[in-house]
Each structure stands twice: as structure tokens, then as C-alpha cells.
């Protein structure tokens, strides 16, 4: 059996950030996920906002880690070559009752220690953001709020962790955990591993993982959020525009993305199924109606796709980051609902501290390198850089995804970094994320993955778990 000092269960942004943070110490760490890639849970489909921190209840762990995480994003994104745009966020009010909510958020933000906040008049807000509806009466501007790319952040943390010695154990759902004198025996897919400590970062399923060691101190319930994504040619807001929050969440927002698209979302609907990420007509209708309230110019003829993510709502009403009551050698980073993307770097630091307090002796690894680079983007190169890249590697001359100008060289690099599915390549390169949504490039991307990995075409999947792309070979041998 392989032995680890720490097994991190869950390779979403929480687990991947923790794995990265631990990789600076001399110890053996495993990053385990049941899915075939990192960033397959909530970290794949969310609003991508780096929240300022005025929304969380004062005194909560969420509030503390949101504000800390927001500040840490500058360094983490610089080291990991992840996009971060401090666009600023606006919470807009459209009547006197909502204006009261905006003032309450401002007060809350002060209590949470959020810097750079200001209440703007409707006129001032519209001068900053011309897409804002004319009947806006006032807005809360938070200068530290911004946008990032959630799956890129997750992939970057996991890649950097691996570069510093962390083992990725993907496609290995943890089905049992047994406490022993030395730690735990963790059944991860087909293999048992030994771990002195376990970090439970299993998102929506973190209550199931806790129960594996007899800890039923909390439950986690899914809350769906649906989205509509607009093409890059559509008029996009400069700021993230929120409406005033309700009991269920932060309200429908209209936002630019770091790639030049825009989106509206998310809805907030409680459900029981932890796997259902379907999009409903009802949800789409609600998004269209609500988005028009903040930004009447949003043009829904430019929608290129819809998607949904599931928030992990904890029964405790706050992030659960503490040693398990059943066995203190398991540290929970559980029920990380929104703003978990923003908080991830701060969650990682807190879990590191809890592991130290649990008796792990940590020695710094002098070889630790905090840096990681994104795959070089052909479309962002100057003409001279393009010519040099093609001279060095002719695969840069073959554009596979025409909507996003993604070359074969970038796809080969994505595969060499661990992508094994169509979506894995898409998230690492943007091949298939343009207006045609992969209609043209998917078969060619599949051929490249198959050629590079030796996986037969008929075994390739869109995102793992039986999502096969072709049915079978025809008599002529084509697939």
C-alpha cells in the first residue's frame, strides 16, 4: 500500500488549493478525486467572481476567509498565471427598499473589514457602467471585487501542487475510510492507500465522506444555479452588476468574463439530487426576465450556451473547517458554498494550520516552486511570436478551433498536462468554447487526444463517467 502524510479528498478549488499549500512542505500528499479530471464539481460551473466580502454575516468563517482570500488572490494569480481582473463590483438598487439593503450591505462590509467600498448615486453608478438600467437609484461599489476563471484557478493549483511532488489520484472515488493507529486506510477506487491525515474537501459529498468515519455532525444540500453565456460579440458590462441579495443567494448578476464573454445568472433553487445539473426552461425564463431589470440592453440573441452548477449548502450555515469530532486526524474543509472560490487560498492556509495543530511536523521543502504557467496562447501572440512559435513547432500552424483560434500545439500540450476528455482539453485551451460550441473542432480534438494517449476513439468521453462521444466502429472501420 502506498503511504502518504496527507490524503486530500476532492480536487475542486478547495482541495487543489490545499494540496498546493501543503506542497511547500517536505511530505507526501495525494490529491484524490472520483472524477477523471480536476475541477469537475462546483469549481467548474460558478459565477467566477472574486467577491469583496460585504455579503457574508459578520463574525462568520465565510466573512473572514472571503476577505482574506480576496487579498491573497493577487499573489496566487500572479504566481499561477491565472487571470484576475479587479473590475470592481456593483450592487444596484432600483427602489427605496433595495436602497436600504445596499446601505445595510455597506455597513456589513465595514464590519467584515472590506476596503475600497463606496455608495454611489444612481447617476454616478450609470456614469461608470452605461449598461446599468436608468432607474437605478444607488449602488454599492466594491473596488476589490473582480473576476477570475474558476476552473483555470483549480487546474493551476493542482498543476503547481503536482510540480511540487503531490500525486494526483483521479478517477478514484473514495468509498471507505478506516481509522488505524498510524492514521487511516483510504479505499480510493481500486487501491487502498495509507494516510496519516485526511482532508475532507469533497464538496457536496463532504457529509458522506465524514460519515465514513462515523461523523454525522453535518449535512450538505445542493442548491442549483443556472446560467446563460453570451458570445464575445455581444455587448458586455464593464463591472459585475449584482442585484440586492435574497434569502437564497446573492441575486441574479450580469457580468463580463475574463475571456471577453458575458453571462447572466445564477438562479437559486434547492433540490435533493446532488448530481442533477440540468438547465430548465423555467430557469432560463427567470434569468432573461431578471437580467433585464439590471441591464435592459442584454441581448439574448447572443446566447451560446446554458449551464448549471450546484452550491454545497452546509446544515451549519457556515463553512465547516475544523477537525472531525469523530477522529481529529480528519480535517474538514466541507460545505464550502459561495464564496468558496474567493476563499480558497485562505481556506488552504487555515487547513495547513489545523494540520500542524493536529501533530504533523512540517519541514520546509527548499525545492518548492510556487510558479506555474498557462499553456501559451497562440491567439495572444504578436506576429513575430507566432512566426517563431511555428518555426519551433509546426503544430502551431494548424488551427483546430476556429472560433477561438486554438492550435494543435496547444491541444497537445493540454493532453501532456493530463487532459483525457474533450471537456478537459476545452477547459485548458478554450477549444470548443466559441460560438459553435465545438461543432467543428470536437472530432479533430478527439483524434488528437486519441493519437497522443493511445485511447481508442470509441473509448473517449466528453467528461468521463460513461459520457461516450461515438457509439461504435462502422463496417468500414470509421468511428
Ligand X SMILES: Cc1cc2nc3c(=O)[nH]c(=O)nc-3n(C[C@H](O)[C@H](O)[C@H](O)COP(=O)(O)OP(=O)(O)OC[C@H]3O[C@@H](n4cnc5c(N)ncnc54)[C@H](O)[C@@H]3O)c2cc1C
Residue 336's alpha-carbon distances to 176, 195, 209, 223, in angstroms, are: 22, 23, 14, 12
Q: Is-contact 256 146, C-beta < 8 A?
A: no
125 binding ligand X? (CB under 6 A): no
- In the bound complex, what is the minimum distance in angstroms from residue 73's beta carbon to ligand X? 10
146 binding ligand X? (CB under 6 A): no
Q: From CA 18, how far away is CA 14, in angstroms rounded?
A: 6
The residues pairing with 243 across neighbouring beta strands, listed in sequence order, are 92
- Residues of this chain, 203-262, that bind ligand X according to CB under 6 A: 203-205, 209, 225
Candidates 89-97, 299-307, 337-345, 381-389; binding stretch for ligand X (CB under 6 A)? 337-345
Q: Strand ranges (DSSP E) for 208-261? A: 220-230, 240-243, 253-256
Question: Using the rule CB under 6 A, which residue among 8, 21, 27, 41 binds ligand X?
Answer: 41
The site for ligand X, by CB under 6 A, has a size of: 40
The residues pairing with 468 across neighbouring beta strands, listed in sequence order, are 461
Residue 245 vs 443, nearer CB to ligand X: 245
- In the bound complex, what is the minimum distance in angstroms from residue 31's beta carbon to ligand X? 10
35 binding ligand X? (CB under 6 A): yes
- Residues of this chain, 304-333, that bind ligand X according to CB under 6 A: 309-311
Question: Using the rule CB under 6 A, which residue among 15, 122, 145, 251 binds ligand X?
Answer: 15
Q: From CA 232, how far away is CA 262, in angstroms rounded?
A: 7
Catalytic site includes residue 51: yes
Q: Is-contact 90 125, C-beta < 8 A?
A: yes
Residue 147 vs 431, nearer CB to ligand X: 147
Question: Using the rule CB under 6 A, which residue among 6, 7, 8, 13 binds ligand X?
Answer: 13
Residue 288's alpha-carbon distances to 89, 98, 196, 307, in angstroms, are: 21, 20, 50, 14
User: Could you tell me where the DSSP H helices lie in 329-378?
Assistant: 340-357
Q: From CA 87, how far away is CA 256, in angstroms rounded?
A: 9
- In the bound complex, what is the minimum distance in angstroms from residue 20's beta carbon to ligand X? 12
Question: Using the rule CB under 6 A, which residue among 5, 23, 31, 34 binds ligand X?
Answer: 34
The residues carrying an active-site annotation are: 51
Catalog residues that contact ligand X under the rule CB under 6 A: 9-15, 32-35, 40-43, 46-49, 51, 173-174, 201-205, 209, 225, 266, 309-311, 336-342
Amino acid at each position: 500500500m502506498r503511504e502518504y502524510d496527507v490524503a486530500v479528498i476532492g480536487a475542486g478549488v478547495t482541495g487543489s488549493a490545499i494540496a498546493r499549500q501543503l506542497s511547500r512542505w517536505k511530505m507526501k500528499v495525494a490529491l484524490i478525486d472520483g472524477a477523471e479530471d480536476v475541477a469537475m464539481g462546483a469549481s467548474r460551473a460558478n459565477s467566477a467572481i472574486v467577491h469583496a466580502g460585504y455579503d457574508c454575516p459578520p463574525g462568520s468563517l465565510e466573512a473572514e476567509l472571503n476577505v482574506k482570500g480576496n487579498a491573497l488572490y493577487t499573489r496566487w494569480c500572479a504566481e499561477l498565471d491565472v487571470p484576475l481582473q479587479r473590475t470592481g463590483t456593483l450592487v444596484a438598487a432600483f427602489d427605496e427598499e433595495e436602497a436600504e439593503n445596499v446601505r445595510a450591505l455597506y455597513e456589513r462590509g465595514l464590519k467584515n473589514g472590506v476596503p475600497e467600498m463606496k455608495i454611489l448615486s444612481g447617476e454616478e453608478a450609470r456614469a461608470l457602467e452605461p449598461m446599468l438600467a436608468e432607474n437605478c437609484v444607488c449602488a454599492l461599489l466594491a473596488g476589490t471585487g473582480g473576476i477570475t476563471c474558476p476552473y483555470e484557478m483549480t487546474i493551476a493549483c493542482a498543476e503547481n501542487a503536482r510540480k511540487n511532488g503531490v500525486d494526483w489520484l483521479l478517477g478514484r472515488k473514495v468509498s471507505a475510510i478506516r481509522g488505524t493507529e498510524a492514521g487511516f486506510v483510504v479505499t480510493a477506487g481500486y487501491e487502498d492507500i495509507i494516510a496519516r491525515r485526511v482532508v475532507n474537501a469533497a464538496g457536496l459529498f463532504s457529509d458522506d465522506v465524514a460519515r465514513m468515519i462515523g461523523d454525522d455532525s453535518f449535512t450538505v444540500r445542493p442548491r442549483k444555479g443556472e446560467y446563460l453565456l453570451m458570445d464575445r460579440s455581444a455587448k458586455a458590462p464593464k463591472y459585475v452588476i449584482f442585484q440586492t441579495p435574497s434569502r437564497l443567494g446573492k441575486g441574479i448578476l450580469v457580468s463580463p468574463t475574463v475571456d471577453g464573454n458575458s453571462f447572466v445568472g445564477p438562479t437559486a433553487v434547492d433540490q435533493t439530487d446532488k448530481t442533477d445539473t440540468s438547465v430548465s426552461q423555467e430557469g432560463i425564463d427567470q434569468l432573461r426576465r431578471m437580467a433585464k431589470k439590471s441591464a435592459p440592453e442584454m441581448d439574448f440573441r447572443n446566447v451560446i450556451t446554458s449551464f448549471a452548477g450546484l452550491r454545497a449548502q452546509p446544515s451549519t450555515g457556515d463553512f465547516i473547517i475544523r477537525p472531525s469530532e469523530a477522529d481529529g486526524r480528519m480535517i474538514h474543509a466541507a460545505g464550502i458554498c459561495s464564496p468558496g472560490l474567493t476563499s480558497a487560498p485562505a481556506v488552504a492556509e487555515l487547513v495547513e494550520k489545523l494540520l500542524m495543530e493536529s501533530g504533523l511536523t512540517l519541514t520546509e521543502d527548499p525545492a518548492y516552486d510556487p510558479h506555474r504557467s498557462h499553456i501559451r496562447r497562440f491567439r495572444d501572440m504578436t506576429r513575430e511570436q507566432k512566426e517563431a512559435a511555428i518555426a519551433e513547432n509546426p503544430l502551431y500552424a494548424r488551427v483546430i478551433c476556429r472560433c477561438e483560434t486554438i492550435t494543435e500545439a496547444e491541444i497537445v500540450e493540454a493532453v501532456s498536462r493530463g487532459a483525457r476528455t474533450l471537456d478537459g482539453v476545452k477547459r485548458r485551451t478554450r477549444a470548443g468554447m466559441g460560438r459553435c460550441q465545438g461543432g467543428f473542432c470536437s472530432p479533430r480534438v478527439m483524434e488528437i487526444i486519441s493519437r497522443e494517449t493511445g485511447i481508442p476513439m470509441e473509448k473517449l468521453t466528453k467528461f468521463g463517467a460513461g459520457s461516450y462521444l461515438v457509439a461504435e466502429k462502422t463496417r468500414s472501420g470509421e468511428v
